[in-house]
Amino acid sequence: MEGELQKVVGRNLRRYRLERGYSQEVFADFMGVHRTYMGGVERGERNLTLQTVERIANHLGVDPVELFIEPSA
């Protein structure tokens, strides 16, 4: 399904961000992007580069691969 990986990354980003207690606005500032851009990423509407995925993972303190794996129920 086209775009499904973007949605998985977005869901994982949101989960990790919330687990660490960051608001979307605070995390966006931390990343140096606008809050609306970060919202688009979390909704799976943005096509990220691997470098951006790596930056996000580094800021969250997780292995970048973790952002691509759909958590099991």
In this structure, are residues 61 and 13 in contact, taking their beta carbons and an 8 Å threshold? no
* More reliable by pLDDT, 3 or 15: 15
Please indicate, yes or no, if residue 21 is contained in any of the structural domains: yes
Domain tally for the chain? 1
Which residue range(s) make up the domain with 23?
4-61
Please indicate, yes or no, if residue 41 is contained in any of the structural domains: yes
pLDDT, tens digit (0-9, with 9 covering 90-100), for 9-20: 999 999 999 999
- CATH number at 24 reads 1.10.260.40
Please indicate, yes or no, if residue 73 is contained in any of the structural domains: no
Please indicate, yes or no, if residue 72 is contained in any of the structural domains: no
Answering whether pTM is above 0.85, one says yes
